[in-house]
Amino acid sequence: MRRMLNETVRLQGSYRDDCAAIEALGMSRRTGMASAEADAREQASRAVEAAPELGAARSYGSILRAKFGSYEGVRIKHMPPGDLPSTLWEAVEQWKAIFSRVNDTAGKFQAEHKAWSAKVFKRASSCPQVPDAVWQDLDRLDLIHRAIPSLTQHWISERVSEVSASVDVLLQAEREKQRARQRELTDDLNKTISDVEVSLNLSGAGWSDPRWDSPSTVDEVQRLIRLGELVPELPEALSVLPIPALISFPFEAGLSVGADVGDREQAIDLVKSLLLRLFAAVPPGALHVKAVDPVALGQSVAGFRHLADYDGQLVDEKTWTTERDIERLMDDLSDHLEVVISKYLRGQFESIDDYNEHAGEVAQPYRLIAIFDYPTGFSTKAAKQLLSLIENGPRCGVYTVLQYNKEVERAKPYDDIEINRLIRSMQKVDFGHTLQPVREPFESAPRAKYSGTVVSSTSTHAVLSLPDGERGTIDLSELQALSPGRWPNGLSAGQKLTVEVTGGNQDGLLNLKPVILRAPPLVDPARGAVARLELGAPVGKVALYLRPDPPAPLVFDADGNPETGFARLLTRIGAAVREVQANPAAVTLDSLLPVFNRARVGILPDLDQARPALSTDPDSWWQGSTVNNAVAPIGRSGAQGVTSMYFSSTEVAGGAIMVGLPRSGKTTSLHSMILTLAMLYSPEELELYLIDAKHGVEFKVYENLPHARMVSIRSEREFSLAVLVGIEREIQRRAQLMKHHGTGIANITEYRATTGEKLARIVVIVDEFHELFEEADDIGLAAFAAFSNIVRMGPFSGAHVVVASQTLSNMPAMDRPTLTLLPQRVAFMCNEYDAEIVMGESNKATRLLTKTGEGLFNPSRGEESRNQPFQGLYVPTADRSAILRDLASKAAAFGWTRRPRVFDGDAAVSRPSPRMDPIVGGRFTIDIGEPFSLADTESIVLSRMQGSNLLLLGDNVDEESTDPAIRGALHSVLLAARQREVEVTLIDFLGEDPAEDDLRVAEIAQLTSARYLRSRAMEATLRDLRDAVNARQTAEEFGAPGRLLVLCGVQRALALTPFDPYDAAEDSSGPAIHLARILINGPEVGIHVVVAADRARSVEMRLGPELINELTLRIAGSSVGERDLLLVSGDYGDVPPLRYGQLLIGDRLKGTAKRVRGYRPLLRGDKRPSNSPARATQ
């Protein structure tokens, strides 16, 4: 690389020197030519001045001819003037001779004519005449006078040519010598380029290299990375081979790419090409990339996101875009530099490469931060940290590629760090340069050239005016031959041409020859060198023009399969990383369980020694007892050690805290703990409560786990609180149970030993538990109270809690002393604040955790002497699924049919079998959904009291985003009425076709035996129901069978107009008045109304604000607005926004508002309700 660049620079320098030498000779020639021209012009001028009247503006011949013609009786004649003189000097001598002769003749003729004129009698025949010879001399004088300018110019050109000819010999000799030297240097350079090209691996090869069609990964770092093609300042005639632009990796100080807005896309493309080649240059997994992209929001590296499908560390799944994000990233990288310097280098190694040569399997990957559109998004703090990163990062294996906006940089008022200081030590690519063509020097002296202007033109010739006022003519055939096709229609007046003078003609015009000034450019402009590349060590500082390679097409099909070789490289890297992660050296069940079975010291489970050793064979499972403890292997520690979490009824093993950043191994460890517990213990020995408090779905795979009592995914804080409260009540129940069997029983171990009864040990696992305590509101404070009691009292009753989180900060509802009561601590890669909480301020061992799955276990509240480093157990997804299937099959074989309660905060709930509880006091219960508690259902009650009517908000067939849970609430009403044989009349104002699988309102009415009507029957139906209400009131039939009026889509009930029902006369008529009487008086006599509409405003438009108060039971779906939620919740506190599948139930009489997970609506293909006496429908 160094040799190739040096030879390029040497050839460029030699060519510049040659051009300078030629230019010097050319200058000498031009100086001599100018001097010769001046001398010749002076000689010609003196010669013309020496000839009488030759330099006059008017020809002397014309003057005499006019004078002769003025004499009486003289007839003017014109005679052939003869040939044009061949030289200026011949013309001057002829002029002098003729001038003298005609003057003598003129004097004699004047005397003769005077004598003739004096006669008294004159005869015309005797009048003297001018001889023909004189007339011919006069025409000859005119010819010479006209030819003098062209003959003068011809004389000057001959003198100039004579002077330049002597210099041309020197020029030609110098050019031959230069060509020989340039050929030699070019041959050397081309040989070096060929040698370099042959030695390059994929990372240094051009995109056209066939190896890119099926790229392979490498086993060791490739040191040369291609950026594009160098464009030397040399003529193409030298035939220099394309020069690859290569930079050395690992970088000495990173790479900066500067561009204005117009070149921004090219600069970003260069960085993308560089990233791809860097991935090709290192072994799979040896490069981790983070991208700062505040303008494009990650689009700049979108093609590389496919790597994150294999390992999120290859290309960070997060794109850092905001100022806060960027500051946090700079903080993280600064911390990493500190760890590397203090942990790995420690003065023993000069760089991370030196360390990796000795590190073997624990070698550290390179880290690269790609920054786009700097300084956008960078605060002053982040810019200072970036400077430190650029200067100190390379030694620690952290490299920076900085693409910056030159225009923003120039406009930004920096008070601390300028861009030149930031990129001072970096290799630089600077866009926005224009490469000026370099022309070869002229090889021979040209004739004097002039810029002429076309005066007139015919099909064959054109007349041009020259700067000195002379005129000349050119042959258009010569012009067309010189530049074919350029002037298809000839020339027009005013056009400019460059010409040289070749002589004069008999018409007094100069003979002109057209000239096209040409010189071969340095490069073909189509090659377009657009950037300047400045390289530093180790190749030596050099600056050259660069034509960057275009970005390689990273193309994937809709299924994510690569369609180009470049995309295949990414998938092969990802596949290789996965293979490395899943190789036999990883801690798997197959490698862990044999070590676990051989263990004889440490925390051991109580196993049935007569059973086979624990393995992945289901026959070896469920041999443990939780009487004394429950043990969960989670990883290997050393060659023969196993790290296990354990839960007993002693204070020192009551529960655990686990912390780890994303992708650190925390969640994998939770999975491992759940699986090993489920394999060791049967469902009657162990119960699990699994809560993901951060709306995650990690625990969804356990929805059929026989040990699980509760599985919460995409959880809500209310439900997480309900689980803790439920566990707290179970602890209290167990405490009473132990107390009932004797005062000496202190814990579950003694209880089971004394009574012989099985009482399952409970383990509550809460992932991302900080979400529950991030607000010090009623929920957070209640959760803290329950959590505190579980931590303190739970272990004695056999209830243990494991809390895990990415971070332990920002939990105002949790106090640190309570959290630290949990004795067992597990830390994966985490920030310093979390490490201090988990391990204590003095235990800094967590800083050594740098790899995924690498953890630190401490069973004694972080006491440093009890630290136990381990590599976490990893159970691949397929193996985990197989184990869960085997667990379910084993449970079924043992008769365990219980399934866990699954709470999915983002999904509508499958409808359970309807309840058949009797109608009490004329009221009936409607199950709406699952509550955010441990109760099975959440219901509303239509009781026989004023206002007991129901409002449903959010069912809008005009909006695709309508949450089906609100339609499910309507179905719940109709199903409940059918089961309780409540007569239902349904008026459908919509009549719209639902989605493909949904039931139309008419269909659900038919299924539930409801009377189905359309809007035209509204007035008659309302009148009949009003009469029924009046009749029941008159007869005081408060226990009469219930009836239900359902108005579906009230927003389209155009016949309803609001009015004040309390001012209307009792005998007033009309649908609105009928409905008002039913709403006000109906509930007390068992006639209730359900109003379904899209928005609260629609209800007000149809019923008026007064009648809404008669709808005291209200339910809203997730698609409604804030005003609708307020109408439903009333003034009973802030209600969090509803998520999809959730309903808000408000009871204005009780003053309550609560969220539930609504039942999904009935769909085509669902099991139909059982038959019951059908009601006539219309």
Going by the annotation, the residues of the binding site for ATP are 660-667
Euclidean distance between CA atoms 629 and 603, whole angstroms: 9
Annotated binding site: 660-667
Report the amino acid identity of residue 34: A
- Phi and psi angles of residue 916, each rounded to the nearest 5 degrees, phi first: -115, 30
What are residue 1113's DSSP bridge partners?
A: 950, 1147
Instruction: Please list, in sequence order, all residues whose beta carbon lies within 8 angstroms of the beta carbon of residue 1047, skipping any fewer than 6 positions away.
Output: 987, 989, 1053, 1075, 1089, 1090, 1091, 1092
CA atoms within 13 A on the CB side of 235: 17
The string of DSSP codes covering 988-1050 is: ES------TTBPPHHHHHHHTTPEEEEGGGHHHHHHHHHHHHHHHHHHT-TTSPPEEEEEE-G
Task: Report the alpha-carbon distance of residue 501 to residue 679 in Å, rounded.
Answer: 105
In order of 602, 624, 936, the CA distances from 631 in angstroms are 11, 9, 32
d(CA 702, CA 762): 16
Determine contact, residues 474/514, Cβ cutoff 8 Å. Answer: yes
Task: Please answer whether residues 932 and 1072 qualify as being in contact, where contact means their C-beta atoms are separated by less than 8 angstroms.
Answer: no
> Do the bridges between strand 868-872 and strand 629-637 make them parallel or antiparallel, or are there none, so unpaired?
antiparallel
Q: Are 1012 and 1001 in contact (CB under 8 A)?
A: yes
The DSSP line for 360-414 is GGGPPPEEEEEEEEETTT--HHHHHHHHHHHHHTGGGTEEEEEEEEHHHHHHS--
**How crowded is residue 17: how many other Cβ atoms within 10 Å of its Cβ?**
12
| C-alpha span between 716 and 1139 (Å, rounded) | 10
Rg of the chain, C-alpha, whole Å = 51
Backbone angles phi, psi at 471, to 5 degrees: -125, 150
- The dihedrals phi and psi of 928, each to the nearest 5 degrees, come to -100, -35
Question: CA angle at residue 787 from 785 to 790, to 5 degrees?
Answer: 110
- Tell me how crowded residue 1051 is: count the other CB atoms within 10 A of its CB: 19
Q: Where are the alpha helices (DSSP H) in 1083-1156?
A: 1096-1103, 1105-1108, 1122-1129
Q: Are 231 and 527 in contact (CB under 8 A)?
A: yes
> Can you name the residues that pair with 514 across neighbouring β-strands?
499
243 has which bridge partners? 230
HEC string for 101-152: HHHHHHHHHHHHHHHHHHCCCCCHHHCCCCCHHHHHHHHHHHHHHHHHHHHH
Tell me the backbone φ, ψ of residue 648, rounded to 5 degrees.
-135, 180
Locate 775 and state its tokens: 């607000």
* CB of 591 closer than 8 Å to CB of 572: no
Distance CA 935, CA 929 (A): 11
Cis peptide before 538 (omega within 30 of 0): yes
Neighbours of 1136 (CB within 10 A): 13
**DSSP conformation class of 695:** S
